[in-house]
Structure 1
Amino acid sequence: MRYMLMHKLDDSNPALWQPTPEFMARMGAFMEEVSKTGVLLAAEGLMPSSAGAAIVRVTDGQTTVTDGPFAEAKEVVGGFGILQVRDHAEAVEWAQRFAALFDNVEVEVRRVSEYE
């Protein structure tokens, strides 16, 4: 089963988008570990919405595009990982280990839709 882990960051807090060398060392060690297990399929951090983002909405057939930064949106997705795991419990376990790298973070765990 594949699961996507998405972590959210406060888009209005520039410090969260400029990680310290210590944080990057912890993240590097975690990424090395999860890579060696073979469960990591993909992972990337995202730039803040001020670095070039857009929201495309279709409402009743009408399309609108809103360019970032998104002042009204405090939390935005800061990065993601896609894992190949046995089950939901294993995905949550990896999400908890990932979240422990941060002082404050929310990690959403979602199963990827797959044809069985």
Structure 2
Amino acid sequence: MRYMLIMEAPESMAVGGPDAPPVEEIFEAMGRYNNDLVEAGVLLAAEGLTPSADGFEVTTDGETPTVTDGPFTEAKELVAGFWILEVASRAEAEQWARRCPIGPGVRLQVRRIAEMSDLEGIAPAEVLDAEATLRRRVAEREQV
């Protein structure tokens, strides 16, 4: 099973932000956590995200998408980073999530990533076939 751990935090808590702990503490704690994930063989991906001022939003209220540059001042919390883990059970995902070194004011949302088997019996066969083909193409690209 794959799970995504999504770190949500106010931008003021971002590295270097006014409410953030010292940079050395953040990198040291996250480095230990990420190393533990690698050593356990469960980490598939992990990334931090830049502040919303570097990003943009795409919305569609009609037929034409609208692009709005950041920062996203109306947002109280933003996704600050994520991990993707491959574990044997929900309980194991919860154990890893509990170990994540997040501090006060930071939230970690944990979501199971849907597998192809979750779509069986729901999606039409041609959709499942097309999805399987896309996944094979991505896997082949990763092997190059």
Aligned partner (choices 22, 25, 33) of residue 22 of structure 1: 25
Contact 1:17/1:47 (<8 A) preserved = no
Whole-angstrom CA distance in 1 between matches of 2:52 and 2:105: 19
Q: What secondary structure, in the 3-state scheme, does the structure 2 residue paired with 1:34 have?
A: helix
TM-score (norm 1): 0.87
TM-score (norm 2): 0.71
> Which structure 1 residue ranges, 4+ long, deviate > 3 Å from structure 2?
none
Deviations 1:25-63 (A, max 9, x none): 11111111111100000000111101x111111234331
User: What code does the residue aligned with 2:81 have?
Assistant: G
Whole-angstrom CA distance in 2 between matches of 1:20 and 1:103: 15
Structure with greater helix share of residues: 2
Q: CA RMSD in A?
A: 1.5
Q: Which runs of 5 or more structure 1 residues have no equivalent in the other structure? A: none
Whole-angstrom CA distance in 1 between matches of 2:26 and 2:70: 26
Deviations 1:82-115 (A, max 9, x none): 00011112112211111x4423310001111111
**Greater alpha carbon shift after TM alignment, 104-113 vs 15-24:** 15-24
Alignment of 1:43-58 (within 5 A): 43-50=46-53, 52-58=54-60
> How many residues matched?
112
Whole-angstrom CA distance in 2 between matches of 1:104 and 1:95: 16
Q: Which structure would you say has the larger Rg? A: 2
Q: Which runs of 5 or more structure 2 residues have no equivalent in the other structure? A: 17-21, 118-144
How high is the sequence identity, in percent, across the aligned residues? 44
Deviations 1:48-79 (A, max 9, x none): 101x1111112343311111001111210000
Matched, 1:35 2:63: no
Q: What secondary structure, in the 3-state scheme, does the structure 2 residue paired with 1:17 have?
A: coil
